[in-house]
Amino acid sequence: MPDKDAGTPRVFLVRHGETEWTISGRYTGRSDIPLTTNGEAQVSSSAAKLVGAGKIINPARIAQLFISPRTRARRTYELLFDEAAQKGLETKYEITEDIREWEYGTYEGLLTAQIRSGRKERGLDTERSWNIWLDGCENGETAAEVSERLDRIIKKIRKFQGPYMYGEKEVDVVLIAHGHILRAFAKRWIGFELGTALPMMLEPGAVGVLSYEHHNVDEPAFLLGLNMG
């Protein structure tokens, strides 16, 4: 059976590898935490399986990369692409604050339980527990502020992918960033408000894929499965 969406541009979401704060579950926004040894191995493993000529992420098909300024994301880029690939991509990547992690403000470095306990002590959340997607972060970003910067990237992506929905030009995109912001990006990609319940997981060093249905830039979608052939 032919693939009715073959050739449709894709957007790859790459979460940086493990850090010490990833292990403990601490909220890591602006804190510039490096990858652990295992975190580097996670990314290298994904690169070996998924990146290269004839593989899911083919550097020759990439038109643009958006990379968070944080060290853990920039190191992930270095591990994901070998020197030859990086040379071909050197004019195609943008290091941008628009894809940095959610600004956690007062909650930076805390655990979820600590955040909820602290808010309760301050008389907040009397009817339900704190939910970042609805409540944002004290002295940090609201969901609306996060959506605004992610929508800027989405607008850029659709502008240059839109004319090539049938593969007339190779215009795949790669985002290398963080757990919360990439899940937020996925929600905005399909037009969901960040407060919409849509449980998602993206492990350190893992890759997610977004695309479009019916070769139509106005029908953004999750790409739940890829044919490895």
Catalytic annotation on 101?
yes
Total residues belonging to the chain: 229
193 marked as binding residue: no
Catalytic annotation on 16?
yes
Torsion (CA) 138, 140, 141, 142 in degrees, nearest 10: 10
Calculate ∠ Cα 36-143-161, nearest 5°: 80
Phi first, then psi: give them for residue 97, nearest 5 degrees: -65, -20
Active-site residue (options: 40, 101, 108, 141): 101
29 marked as binding residue: yes
Q: How far is CA 84 from CA 13, 61, 78, 81, 164, in A?
A: 22, 14, 11, 8, 26
Tell how strand 62-67 and strand 172-177 pair up. Answer: parallel
- What is the rounded distance in angstroms from the CA atom of residue 76 to the CA atom of residue 78? 5
40 marked as binding residue: no
Kindly state the DSSP code that residue 69 receives in the 8-state scheme: S
Instruction: Summarize the annotated binding site as residue ranges.
Output: 28-29, 72, 101-104
Instruction: Summarize the annotated binding site for substrate as residue ranges.
Output: 28-29, 72, 101-104
Active-site residues: which are they?
16, 101
